[in-house]
């Protein structure tokens, strides 16, 4: 009898432990709460047209799209859609919707609701992202089709952006994400775990996203509070941070030195290469970015296209001087244009970057003077082709190679102000237009690599560095990271017991 009783007690304890584990995995910890200190907050009563990671990064946790980015990449995976197919002519994307998805207000996801949501998006969103959409239809309750006016492969990545999220009208609008908006004001948004979420209940019950514009206060919160995520941490603070752990993600953005390729002396590729060989980008990044950002290995960040041919060459002042002589640069004073203040791809500021570039060029024998402008004034000066060389940058919307190369270097983008170098190459134009129409595949990647081989020889611009998203978390918070496009996902975050 004693043995039986002991066995019964052990079995009862085991069952109780199993139930406890099941409950802990199936429901969030009611006492768990995290504070996210962000530079700002979005307007929640309308749809965003331009995404800003400093304020909008949490939105995918409330509002989901048909597809989303895979963790820490610019690649696409299913979300509210389980799959999709592309018509043979490349103009129609048809998505199959996931079953048993509920909005936060209790309504069930269906094709008519998705269609209505996107029709509202198309009336308000940027034509740059969705101007290629001719119509949206719902053939049946579980399928949604997008008819495009021309084949456009990057459209699929556009659907992963917060601007393309599916929502129902309300104050605030209702989404399908792992968290619902419990309360909101101008200074703070409180998110509560959505217990009917289709992909499992979040591990954390409550998350408060608070607007803390002052970066010093965001850093201070890491020392004062127990469960804090601080966004947009300055590089200088991240190296010696106390009270938190730094997380750094290479961003889908680029800082570059541009040449006026339609204007002497930099209509000559040899002159452009002479300047490029004078620049030690690794040293530049160490001096300005405290080692948190490495130099650009090419025109595209690795998260955008892996295995691209490198544009980076070891700085060689001797070769630079020889090329400068043959290109007629000896004795010429170059005017370098830059911008005031910081940018996502250059948190050190345009003045400091220009000073480092000037110093390196002068060490290689060039004469350089710097002109500094407010951002809007700089754009106008570049449009007038003032000076000789200029510092600029690019932040990608969707992490597609097209969003870098076509925008920055296609001849058709000169009039829009994106192709600042006025670079014109018929072969490049053809390759980049073709890549827009080829579905994501090794064939499409090969087209981009062919284009990069030409661009790396002709050097219309010099890639200096990629941007980075720097955040910090207090000890005990696990599973947080910012994605390359600036969003972050909170469902898998957990607190160490």
Tens of pLDDT, residues 378-420: 999 999 999 999 999 999 999 999 999 999 999 999 988 999 9
Tens of pLDDT, residues 167-181: 999 999 999 999 999
Write out the two tokens for 46.
């309308």
CATH of the domain at 375: 3.10.105.10
Tens of pLDDT, residues 118-145: 999 998 888 889 999 999 999 999 999 9
Distance CA 3, CA 89 (A): 74
Q: Is residue 4 part of a domain?
A: no
First vs last Cα of the chain: how many Å apart?
Answer: 39
Query: Residue 4 pLDDT more than 60?
Result: no
Domain termination site, one of 111, 140, 169: 169
Domain termination site, one of 169, 190, 209: 169
CATH of the domain at 46: 3.40.190.10
Q: Are residues 258 and 238 in the same domain?
A: no
Going by pLDDT thresholds of 50, 70 and 90, the confidence category of residue 314 is confident
Q: Are residues 97 and 237 in the same domain?
A: no
Cβ-proximal residues to 68 (8 Å cutoff; 6+ apart), any chain: 60, 76, 77, 78, 79, 160
As a whole number, the mean pLDDT across the chain is 90
Best CA proximity match to 492, nearest among 64, 202, 73, 179: 202
Q: Are residues 264 and 130 in the same domain?
A: no
Q: Are residues 428 and 493 in the same domain?
A: no
Task: Report the percentage of the chain scoring pLDDT > 90.
Answer: 77
Per-residue confidence (pLDDT) for residue 32, from 0 to 100 = 81
- The 3 state secondary structure assigned to 196-235 is CCCCCCCCEEEEEEEECCCHHHHHHHHHHCCCEEECCCCH
Q: Is residue 23 part of a domain?
A: no
Q: Are residues 206 and 353 in the same domain?
A: no
Query: Residue 7 pLDDT more than 60?
Result: no
Higher pLDDT: 167 or 497? It is 167
Tens of pLDDT, residues 343-385: 999 999 999 999 999 999 999 999 999 999 999 999 999 999 9
Q: Are residues 235 and 325 in the same domain?
A: no
Tokens 């925008």 correspond to 407
CATH of the domain at 89: 3.90.76.10
Tens of pLDDT, residues 220-237: 898 888 899 999 988 777
Q: Is residue 19 part of a domain?
A: no
Per-residue confidence (pLDDT) for residue 225, from 0 to 100 = 84
Burial zone of 239 (CB within 10 Å; 0-12 exposed, 13-18 middle, 19+ buried):
exposed
Q: Are residues 488 and 464 in the same domain?
A: no
Q: Is residue 8 part of a domain?
A: no
Q: Is residue 101 part of a domain?
A: yes
Distance CA 203, CA 43 (A): 27
Q: Are residues 321 and 421 in the same domain?
A: yes
Q: Is residue 390 part of a domain?
A: yes
Q: Are residues 294 and 152 in the same domain?
A: no
Write out the two tokens for 115.
């269609």
Q: Are residues 202 and 55 in the same domain?
A: yes
* Number of domains forming the structure of the chain: 3
Judged by phi (left if over 0) then psi (alpha if -120 to 50, else beta), residue 422 lies in left
Give the range of the structural domain holding residue 148, as residue numbers without chain letter: 69-169
- Poorest-pLDDT segment among 22-31, 323-332, 376-385: 22-31
Per-residue confidence (pLDDT) for residue 81, from 0 to 100 = 98
Query: Residue 24 pLDDT more than 70?
Result: no
Domain termination site, one of 169, 201, 223: 169
Per-residue confidence (pLDDT) for residue 331, from 0 to 100 = 86
Q: Is residue 5 part of a domain?
A: no
Q: Are residues 108 and 230 in the same domain?
A: no
Tens of pLDDT, residues 142-157: 999 999 999 999 999 9
Query: Residue 38 pLDDT more than 80?
Result: yes
Distance CA 258, CA 393 (A): 9
Global confidence as pTM: 0.90
Query: Residue 18 pLDDT more than 70?
Result: no
Q: Are residues 452 and 358 in the same domain?
A: yes
Instruction: Report the pLDDT averaged over residues 449-475.
Output: 95
> Which residues, listed in sequence order, are joined to residue 94 by a DSSP beta bridge?
85, 145
Contact 485, 398 (CB under 8 A): yes
Sign of the dihedral through C-alpha 311, 314, 320, 323 = negative
Tens of pLDDT, residues 235-244: 777 777 766 7
Q: Is residue 151 part of a domain?
A: yes
Query: Residue 9 pLDDT more than 50?
Result: no
What is the three-class DSSP state of 378?
A: helix
Distance CA 318, CA 310 (A): 21
Per-residue confidence (pLDDT) for residue 181, from 0 to 100 = 97
Distance CA 343, CA 392 (A): 9
Query: Residue 78 pLDDT more than 90?
Result: yes
Tokens 């909170």 correspond to 490
Task: Report the percentage of the chain scoring pLDDT > 70.
Answer: 91
């Amino acid at each position: 009898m004693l043995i039986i009783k002991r066995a019964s007690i052990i079995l009862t304890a085991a069952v109780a432990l199993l139930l406890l584990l099941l409950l802990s995995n199936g429901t969030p910890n009611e006492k768990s709460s995290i504070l996210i200190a962000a530079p700002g907050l979005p307007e929640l009563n309308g749809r965003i047209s331009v995404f800003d990671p400093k304020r909008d990064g949490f939105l995918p946790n409330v509002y989901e799209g048909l597809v989303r980015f895979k963790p820490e990449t610019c690649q696409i995976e299913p979300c509210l859609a389980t799959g999709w197919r592309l018509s043979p002519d490349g103009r129609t994307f048809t998505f199959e919707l996931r079953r048993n998805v509920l909005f936060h207000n209790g309504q069930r996801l269906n094709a008519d609701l998705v269609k209505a949501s996107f029709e509202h998006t198309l009336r308000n969103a940027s034509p740059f992202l969705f101007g290629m959409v001719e119509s949206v239809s719902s053939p049946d309750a579980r399928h949604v089709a997008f008819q495009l006016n021309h084949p456009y492969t990057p459209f699929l990545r556009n659907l992963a952006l917060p601007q393309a999220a599916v929502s129902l009208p309300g104050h605030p609008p209702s989404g399908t994400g792992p968290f619902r908006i419990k309360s909101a004001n101008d200074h703070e948004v409180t998110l509560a775990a959505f217990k009917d979420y289709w992909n499992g209940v979040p591990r954390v019950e409550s998350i408060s996203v608070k607007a803390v514009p002052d970066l010093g206060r965001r850093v201070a919160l890491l020392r004062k509070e127990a469960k804090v995520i601080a966004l947009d941490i300055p590089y200088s603070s991240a190296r010696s941070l106390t009270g938190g752990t730094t997380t750094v993600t290479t961003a889908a953005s680029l800082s570059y030195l541009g040449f006026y390729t339609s204007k002497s002396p930099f209509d000559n590729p040899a002159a452009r290469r002479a300047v490029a060989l004078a620049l030690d980008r690794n040293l530049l990044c160490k001096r300005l970015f405290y080692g948190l950002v490495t130099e650009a290995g090419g025109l595209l960040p690795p998260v955008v296209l892996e295995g691209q041919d490198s544009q980076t060459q070891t700085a060689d002042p001797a070769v630079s001087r020889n090329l400068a002589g043959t290109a007629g640069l000896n004795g010429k004073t170059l005017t370098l244009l830059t911008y005031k203040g910081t940018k996502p791809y250059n948190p050190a500021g345009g003045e400091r970057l220009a000073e480092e570039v000037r110093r390196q060029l002068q060490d290689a024998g060039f004469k350089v003077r710097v002109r500094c402008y407010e951002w809007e004034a700089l754009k106008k000066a570049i449009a007038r082709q003032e000076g000789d060389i200029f510092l600029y940058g690019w932040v990608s919307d969707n992490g597609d190679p097209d969003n870098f190369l076509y925008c920055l270097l296609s001849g058709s983008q000169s009039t829009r102000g994106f192709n600042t170098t006025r670079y014109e190459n018929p072969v490049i134009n053809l390759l980049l237009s073709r890549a827009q129409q080829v579905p994501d595949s090794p064939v499409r990647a090969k087209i981009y690599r062919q284009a990069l081989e030409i661009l790396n020889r002709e050097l219309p611009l010099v890639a200096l560095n990629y941007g980075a998203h720097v955040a910090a978390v207090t000890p005990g918070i696990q599973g947080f990271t910012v994605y390359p496009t600036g969003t972050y996902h909170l469902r898998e975050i957990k607190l160490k017991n």
